[in-house]
Structure 1
Amino acid sequence: MNLHLLSQAVLQILGLKYATVKYRKMQKAIDSYVLKVEYALPFDGEWYTINGGVTKNTSHSWEVLPQRFAYDFASVDEEGES
């Protein structure tokens, strides 16, 4: 592994650790948060949610607090291929 990739990996791990510590303190606020604005996705058309959710059972990254409510989207053609 070259030094550039190693440094990127270390920085990503440190960033996730920092975010986990920061957001763990805010856990109660996150669990009871009520949206105050309406959000729109940055794309148009018909897309499918292939991963993601707002519960531990539906989220694919529940244990990574900054990614807890992340969604993965994919567009498909008429044959159902992405």
Structure 2
Amino acid sequence: MKALHPTPEQHIQELEKQLEFSQQKAQFFEAVVNVLEKDYGISVKIRQADLRARASNRAHRQLGVPVSRYQPPSLVPGIAYV
């Protein structure tokens, strides 16, 4: 049975296990991406601009703002931003 409040040492050990597992997953996915690119010519890397757009769209959906009608303030015509 797990203790309700692990000691700091136990917590660190658990975090280290999680970190190792996450690193192994990242290595696996990087290997898969490399095989797809090298052997099949498929590019699956996401550009930073795409990631920002996805995050922005997700935030607007959570706020209830229709994504298709939303324009960031920097793109609103006729308004000068300093």
Which category describes the TM-score, using the shorter chain as reference length?
0.3 to 0.5
Q: TM-score, normalised by structure 2?
A: 0.42
TM-score by length of 1: 0.42
**The structure with more strand, counted as a fraction of residues:** 1
> Which one has the bigger helix percentage?
2
Higher-RCO chain (CA-CA 8 Å, sequence separation at least 6): 1
